[in-house]
Copies of this chain bind each other. A is one copy, B any other.
Amino acid sequence: MGVNERAESVTSTARRAQILAATVETIAELGYGQATFARISERAGLSSTRLISYHFAGKSELIAALVEEVYADITRHMTERTRAATGPRETLHAYIRALVGYIAEHPTRMRALMSVFLDHRAEDGGRSYNGGDERAAVDPVRQALADGQRAGEFRVFDTFVMATTIQRSIDGLPFLLRSDPDLDLAAYAEELVELFDQATRATRAEAGAETGAGR
């Protein structure tokens, strides 16, 4: 990553981006708890932590900006990869593959995001980024599952449990990846697809009943 040594006449936007990049790397490597201004500015090649305070109102603003940025990035990625899917089952599979794919492409970005989430999940005071409302976080997946149940493609199960399980089966991958950098994520994704395909698929009885009952 190119870092200016003199750091002169850099636009504010560029500077913020530079700091955010260093923050992502620092959190991804050391974890949120160890990501101090000092360490971030060192990684960014800045002369003092003062510059971070200058560009961001405070630590929470810095983290908020990071989350917002990575979130937007993920959303963009996911939208692109799941748009084409037709039907609940295909959508679910696309979702799994897309999210694992994002992790494969941006492991540090995702690890940083998770590290922030985990820390805030652990905290009480102040808003956490996944809202403290874990239900909302898995809502998109849950929708697809509910759709599939209505369409008779999926068997009857608690959509919240299933969605949460799917989500958690993926969001630990950034850390798994670090202790095992050669992990084949593409294969891992296919295994998950198969796993949740089996877990969600309609039983013969249901499948049979579905033609009659419709809905």
Say yes or no: B191 contacts A158, CB within 8 Å.
yes
Provide the main secondary structure of the chain A interface: helix
Establish whether residues B48 and A161, one from each chain, have CB atoms under 8 Å apart when the complex forms.
no
CB distance from A7 to the nearest CB of B (A): 9
Q: Give Cα distance in the complex from A118 to B187, angstroms.
A: 25
Chain A, 26-81, CB within 8 A of any chain B CB: 29-34, 38, 41-42, 45-48
11 A/B residue pairs, CB under 8 Å, sorted by A: A3-B38, A3-B41, A3-B47, A30-B123, A132-B179, A162-B195, A164-B172, A164-B176, A165-B195, A168-B172, A196-B199
Please tell me if the beta carbons of A194 and B4 are within 8 angstroms of each other in the complex.
no
Contact indicator A175/B3 (Cβ below 8 Å): no
Instruction: List the B side residues contacting A180 at CB < 8 Å.
Output: 134-135
Expressed in whole angstroms, the Cα–Cα distance for A80 and B32 within the complex equals 37
Number of residues from A at the complex interface, CB < 8 A: 54
The chain A residues found within 8 Å of chain B, CB to CB, are: 2-6, 29-34, 38, 41-42, 45-48, 115, 118-119, 121-124, 132-135, 155, 157-158, 161-162, 164-165, 168-169, 172, 175-176, 179-180, 187-188, 191-192, 194-196, 198-201
Residues in B with CB closer than 8 Å to A122 are 30-34, 115, 118, 175
Report if A47-B2 is in contact (Cβ < 8 Å); known contacts: A122-B32, A168-B172: yes
Complex: how many Å from CA A191 to CA B158?
7
Known contacts A33-B119, A164-B172, A169-B169; 13 further A-B pairs (Cβ under 8 A):
A2-B48, A3-B47, A3-B48, A4-B47, A32-B122, A33-B122, A135-B179, A161-B195, A165-B165, A168-B169, A168-B172, A198-B198, A199-B199
Nearest B residue to A46, CB-CB: B3
User: Once bound together, how far apart are the Cα atoms of A145 and B175, in whole Å?
Assistant: 23
